[in-house]
């Protein structure tokens, strides 16, 4: 799992990834770091509070992991179908959820490039 | 909470992936309600979640018992299940006996027990093949 430092908000992420919001959070919520992984134990081992998770694992376990690890939100990649039980849990748990058509690689790449860009609004 | 001990217990059912993590989330909510420090909450929640998912994945059933005092948070997890034949091996990062179903759920990276230990100030594990496993997880408040 790769974790990079961020200076973005959830709203920035939504724009950069051309994502749709499935469960809203505070648009101005700061993204402290970004991680990309499909194995939740890796997220629990390497993730940090305030991290945004990019993942293809569109299950309740991604939401549970986000809850216990204090992640700022979850982005499901590759337009993965997301079950209503996942969204219901995210709403109940207060976990913002987005979905992008991009692959995990593309999404991570866009955000990485954004981190390397001159400071300013994306 | 000064001078008091607060205890709760939660049942965990083997194979119940749909509810896997529910007990750990309840534990986290309890600690937040008690105004426990955020970093302590996070460590306890992660350790509890990994332990809970181990029960879901490998055992028939289990219990998670939490004790909260001003000095520490203790989580004891005991299950009825196959037990662990080689604890030393199970504690190695990356060593896993996960099935394809477990990996589809995002687990089986072989990080569960190491993650629990990493987030604990004190950690003990005992297991008996054919009977089950007990974990003792403790995180200090200070």
Write out the DSSP string of B59-78.
Answer: -SEEEEEEEE-SSEEEEEEE
SS3 content of chain B, % helix, strand, coil (to 5): 35, 30, 35
Task: Report if residue A12 sits inside a domain.
Answer: yes
What pTM was computed for the model? Answer: 0.91
Task: Report if residue A98 sits inside a domain.
Answer: yes
The whole domain housing A42 covers 4-116
Is there a contact between B112 and A41 if contact means CB atoms under 8 Å apart?
yes
Task: Report if residue A122 sits inside a domain.
Answer: no
| pLDDT in the model for residue B108 | 79
pLDDT digits (tens, 9 = 90+) for B8-37: 999 999 999 989 999 999 999 999 999 999
Is there a contact between B28 and A67 if contact means CB atoms under 8 Å apart?
yes
pLDDT digits (tens, 9 = 90+) for B50-60: 999 999 999 99
pLDDT band at B106 (very low <50, low <70, confident <90, very high): confident
Phi/psi of residue B65, nearest 5 degrees: -115, 130
Comparison of pLDDT for B100 and B47, the residue scoring more: B47
**Size of chain A in residues:** 122
Task: Report if residue A58 sits inside a domain.
Answer: yes
User: Average pLDDT in the B36-49 region?
Assistant: 97
User: Average pLDDT in the B65-91 region?
Assistant: 96
CA-based nearest residue to B105, from A107, A64, A80: A64
Task: Report if residue A121 sits inside a domain.
Answer: no
Strand partners, B62: B12, B79
Q: By a Cβ cutoff of 8 Å, what residues of chain B touch chain A?
A: 17-18, 20-21, 24-25, 28, 38, 42, 45-46, 48-50, 53, 103, 105-112, 114-115, 118
Compare CB distances from A68 to B49, B103, B109 and report the shortest one's residue: B49
Q: Identify the segments of chain A with pLDDT beneath 70.
A: 1-6, 117-122
**CATH code, A99:** 3.40.1390.20
User: Average pLDDT in the B107-118 region?
Assistant: 88
Task: Report if residue A87 sits inside a domain.
Answer: yes
pLDDT band at B100 (very low <50, low <70, confident <90, very high): confident
Domain count, chain A: 1
HSE-up of residue B123 (Cα within 13 Å, Cβ side): 16
| pLDDT in the model for residue A119 | 55
Task: Report if residue A26 sits inside a domain.
Answer: yes
Please determine, for residue B39, whether its predicted confidence score (pLDDT) is greater than 60: yes
How far apart are the C-alpha atoms of A62 and A43, rounded to whole Å?
Answer: 9
Task: Report if residue A91 sits inside a domain.
Answer: yes
How far apart are the C-alpha atoms of B51 and B92, rounded to whole Å?
Answer: 16
Could you tell me the two tokens for A64?
């549970």
| A chain contacts of residue B112, beta-carbon cutoff 8 Å | 41
ipTM for this model: 0.87
Is there a contact between B107 and A39 if contact means CB atoms under 8 Å apart?
yes
């Amino acid at each position: 799992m790769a974790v990079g430092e961020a200076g973005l908000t959830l709203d920035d992420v939504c724009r950069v990834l051309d994502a749709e919001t499935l469960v809203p959070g505070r648009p101005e919520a700061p993204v402290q770091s970004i991680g990309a992984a499909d194995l939740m134990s890796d997220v629990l081992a390497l993730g940090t509070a305030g991290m945004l998770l990019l993942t293809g694992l569109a299950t309740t376990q991604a939401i549970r992991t986000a809850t216990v690890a204090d992640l700022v939100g979850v982005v499901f990649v590759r337009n993965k179908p997301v079950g209503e039980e996942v969204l219901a849990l995210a709403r109940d748990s207060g976990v913002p959820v987005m979905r992008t058509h991009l692959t995990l690689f593309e999404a991570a790449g866009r955000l990485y490039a954004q981190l390397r860009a001159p400071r300013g609004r994306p | 909470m000064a001078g008091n001990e607060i205890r709760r217990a939660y049942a965990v059912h083997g194979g119940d992936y749909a509810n896997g993590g529910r007990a750990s989330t309840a534990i986290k909510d309890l600690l937040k309600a008690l105004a426990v420090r955020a970093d302590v909450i996070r460590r306890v929640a992660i350790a509890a979640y990994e332990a809970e998912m181990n029960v879901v994945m490998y055992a028939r059933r289990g219990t998670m018992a939490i004790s909260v005092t001003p000095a520490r948070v203790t989580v004891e997890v005991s299950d009825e299940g196959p037990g662990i034949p080689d604890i030393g091996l199970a504690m190695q990062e990356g060593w896993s006996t996960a099935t394809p179903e477990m990996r589809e759920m995002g687990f089986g990276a072989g990080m569960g027990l190491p993650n629990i230990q990493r987030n604990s100030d004190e950690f003990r594990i005992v297991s008996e093949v054919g009977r089950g496993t007990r974990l003792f997880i403790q995180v200090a408040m200070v």
